[in-house]
Structure 1
Amino acid sequence: MKIVATGLLGVMALIFIVAFALQDQYPWLQYVRAAAEGGMVGALADWFAVTALFKHPMGVKIPHTAIIPRKKDQIGASLGQFVEENFLSEAVVQQKLASVGIAQKAGAWLATPGGADRVALEGAALIRGAFTVLDDDAVQSVIESMVRKHLLTPPWGPPAGKIAERIFEDGHHHQLVDLLVDRAADWVDTNYDLVSGLVSQRSPTWVPQFVDGLVGDKVYVELTKFMRAVQTNPDHDVRLALDKYLKDLAQDLQHDPVVIAKAEDIKAQVLGDPQVRDLAARTWTTIKQALLEAVDDPDSELTQNFKTAVRDFGRRLSTDAELAGKVNRWIADAAGYLVRTYRSDIAAIITETVGRWDAVETSQKIELQIGKDLQFIRINGTVVGSLAGLLIFSVAHAVFG
């Protein structure tokens, strides 16, 4: 395009020379000369204007030339400000999001098998990537610190006492007591020989054996009656005593320093440092292994349930107008907040990026992108200059002769 534009300038110059040389012999060539003269002026003027955008014409540092290399940073700042004011506007973003209906479109896509599969696939890749990046020792340390902070550091006595108090006050423990009493009664029913044997073993050696048998029978019968009474009578003294003991224990766990200290000792014995570290290691290993196995198997129960949940959520989004409206409002509010808070930072990316570009290279890139149109400007300038020169000469000739 440069060759075409420059060639047209050369043609105008050649026509001007020929017409200028022969215009005395052929007066009509005066009009041709005027047109060629105007075309050269237009071509040269537009060449200067186009060249001045990107470099100094012919290397001469004429003021207000090489505009783009010299004003690169200002152009970047202006472009960033333009984008910030006209595109990163909260009203513009929210209006565009409201017209799009993101929730409905996303729901329709999620409801399809392909959409759910894609979400599951990307989620699996995300989980695998996270496990690759995460350091096992660091994660175990975090789990251990959380266990210590939320499980070991707080005293166990008072909260356990409060929970037990509510359970005992509501009578929820009676079913457990019934179960224990039933099992004890069943044990007595099926262990006559053991009860009789215990009586015989603990009687004096001088007592006749038949007396041991009678005493053993009596003890067994009384023990059976006692267990039946406890089993059938909800107001039995044993049950009442057990209720009182449990309620007192719940109160002691909350208020008795000695009982609270014993609970802390039990906690320390059950969950010492080695046990906590082992618990953290086993917890993380189990979670990691289970998730990796699940995401690697597209037919695993976790993956299938996840896909089903995604499709169900997509169907709700696409059919439930109220839910879709809420999601659209959440998205619009979130986008508005991001634009309102970070619009300057986002626009600064443009300014900083342009600022890092090399001035000469930037000018060359822009010239290559729009150079063809710029050369058309030169061609148009040549044509318009020719017509203007012809018109001016014709008017002047008609007026002044």
Structure 2
Amino acid sequence: MDERTTAGGPEPGADSGAAAGRAAAVRDGGRPPRAPVPALGGFVFSEADEERRRGVRRMKATATGLLVLVAVVYVLATWAEHTGAGAWAGYVRAAAEAGMVGALADWFAVTALFRHPLGLPIPHTAIIPTKKDQLGASLGEFVGENFLSADVVRARLHALRIGSRLGAWLAEPAHADRVTAELATALRGALTVLRDSDVQAVVGEAITRRAETAEIAPGIGKTLERVVADGGHRRVVDLVCAKAHDWLVTHADSVMGAVQGGAPGWTPRFVDRKVGERVYKELLRFLTEMRDMPEHPARGAVDRFLCDFAADLQADTDTRLRVERLKSEILEREEVQDVIASAWTAIRAMILSAAEDEQSELRLRVRASLLSLGARLATDGRLQDKVEGWIEGAVVYVVTTYRAEITSLITDTVAGWDAEHTSRKIEAHIGRDLQFIRINGTVVGALAGLLIHTASRAFGA
């Protein structure tokens, strides 16, 4: 038995590794070095592993000591039997002899798991180092068939009653606050990661494409038709008439000057002035009457025009095409594109502000929704079944679809382990219990030998 391979002594290069760690600590200002990261194909033996290996060594010493003890007893009993000490010496010799056989057999069996006994390449020994990849594949297959099957996963999730548990948990105000805070943090993180230029480009393209593909004339026509039917346009007409009247009053000289300027050059100036004054007075009278008389004929003409225009927007091909050309021209303007692109900046600032403010309407609504959902989940059996069905379906889909990838994590990881390190790691965890097999084999062998010798003497063998 090569105790060096299972002992808890330092690994090769441990002194140099410790020195490197101390040097790193000095460079980092006295901070302790980080925990070592296992290299591909190897393990890091922690303090717990080293303690386990020391326990294995102690149990090995105990089992070996018991073997030596029964060997000494065998020698002494044999000597006593040959010197005529009596029949008892034969019983002791038989028990000790069988105890040695049992101890050696179990030592061979335990040692064969991890290495070649006595370094001899005996077939079917060093099972873990030589069969490591097959063991990993078998373990992955076992996990896939017995832990990642659809029936097992669904039954386990159904037994957990996730819906009712989640509802009871969310119904607690403190838990709803926690989830709200976590969602706000995640939202802020997502908005921080996203680049404004990329989002603006996507948003701008989406809005522009949507606006270009959607025909707006029929929608505008229907809206205008309803507005006119409800009389909603009259306030606009009132406002236009009032503003036009006020403008005429304020710019009387400009209006009369424009009329006089358009008169023929051969007419006398006083005639032009009289004509300008007359035109101005008629315009002012017309706008005053239109402003003050809800039933003015001109208002009726505006109503008929708007009705006809609404009908043309919905049915007249030429009008619809002209509206679409106008829409395209407006969308192509740089000012409009800048407004569309800047929409994301405004939305982002609004969301960030709402996410950071605990009393914002957004967070308060999210919290209230979580509390309401929790209360419903805690009491509504149908909703619980529905949520649990969604969760079970999603998990079962992931498990059944990616079961090969999940189990390959086991097989590939085991395949990447170093055979010697794997054997030592496993022995550190189960080796102490295996030494009890040696001890039990010694005791059971001795009892079996004693029983066989007693039976043989009893039947006169």
Shorter-chain TM-score: what band?
0.7 to 0.9
Equivalent of 1:350 in 410, 413, 422: 410
The aligned counterpart of 1:7 is 65
The aligned counterpart of 1:268 is 332
The one-letter amino acid of 1:370's match is: I
The aligned counterpart of 1:162 is 218
The one-letter amino acid of 1:339's match is: V
Quick check: 2:115–2:126 contact (8 Å CA) kept in 1?
Answer: yes
Quick check: 1:254–1:260 contact (8 Å CA) kept in 2?
Answer: no
Rounded Cα–Cα distance in structure 2 between residues aligned with 1:168 and 1:86: 67
The structural deviation recorded for 1:7 is 0.6
The aligned counterpart of 2:452 is 392
Q: Which is worse superposed, 376-385 or 126-135?
A: 126-135
The structural deviation recorded for 1:275 is 5.1
Aligned positions of 1:280-359 closer than 5 A = 280=341, 282-359=342-419
- SS of the counterpart of 2:123? coil
- SS of the counterpart of 1:26? coil
The aligned counterpart of 2:111 is 51
Rounded Cα–Cα distance in structure 2 between residues aligned with 1:113 and 1:53: 56
Rounded Cα–Cα distance in structure 1 between residues aligned with 2:302 and 2:192: 60
Rounded Cα–Cα distance in structure 1 between residues aligned with 2:346 and 2:322: 38
Q: Can you list the C-alpha shifts for 1:140-160, whole angstroms capped at 9, x where unaligned?
A: 3333433443335x3x6xx11
- SS of the counterpart of 1:400? coil
The one-letter amino acid of 1:179's match is: R
The one-letter amino acid of 2:370's match is: V
Q: Which is worse superposed, 21-30 or 5-14?
A: 21-30
In the alignment of these two chains, the number of paired residues is 393
Aligned positions of 1:3-152 closer than 5 A = 3-24=61-82, 25-27=84-86, 28-152=88-212
Assess, with a 3 A threshold, how the Cα gap between structure 1 residues 303 and 224 changes in structure 2: closer, same or farther: same
Rounded Cα–Cα distance in structure 2 between residues aligned with 1:67 and 1:8: 26
Aligned positions of 1:99-248 closer than 5 A = 99-152=159-212, 154=213, 159-171=215-227, 175-187=231-243, 193-194=249-250, 201=257, 202=259, 205-206=269-270, 220-229=284-293, 231=295, 236-248=300-312
- SS of the counterpart of 1:206? helix
Rounded Cα–Cα distance in structure 2 between residues aligned with 1:284 and 1:180: 32
Q: Can you list the C-alpha shifts for 1:32-62, whole angstroms capped at 9, x where unaligned?
A: 1111111111000000001101111111110
Quick check: 1:295–1:303 contact (8 Å CA) kept in 2?
Answer: yes
Q: CA RMSD in A?
A: 3.1
The structural deviation recorded for 1:296 is 3.3
The aligned counterpart of 2:14 is none
- SS of the counterpart of 2:85? coil
Q: Which is worse superposed, 286-295 or 200-209?
A: 200-209
For structure 1, which runs of at least 5 residues remain unmatched after alignment? none
Assess, with a 3 A threshold, how the Cα gap between structure 1 residues 232 and 293 changes in structure 2: closer, same or farther: same
Rounded Cα–Cα distance in structure 1 between residues aligned with 2:353 and 2:249: 54
Quick check: 1:2–1:375 contact (8 Å CA) kept in 2?
Answer: yes
Rounded Cα–Cα distance in structure 2 between residues aligned with 1:127 and 1:145: 23
Q: Which is worse superposed, 331-340 or 122-131?
A: 122-131
Rounded Cα–Cα distance in structure 2 between residues aligned with 1:256 and 1:130: 42
Q: Can you list the C-alpha shifts for 1:185-207, whole angstroms capped at 9, x where unaligned?
A: 44467678448667755468525
Q: Which is worse superposed, 290-299 or 119-128?
A: 290-299
Q: Which is worse superposed, 298-307 or 314-323?
A: 298-307
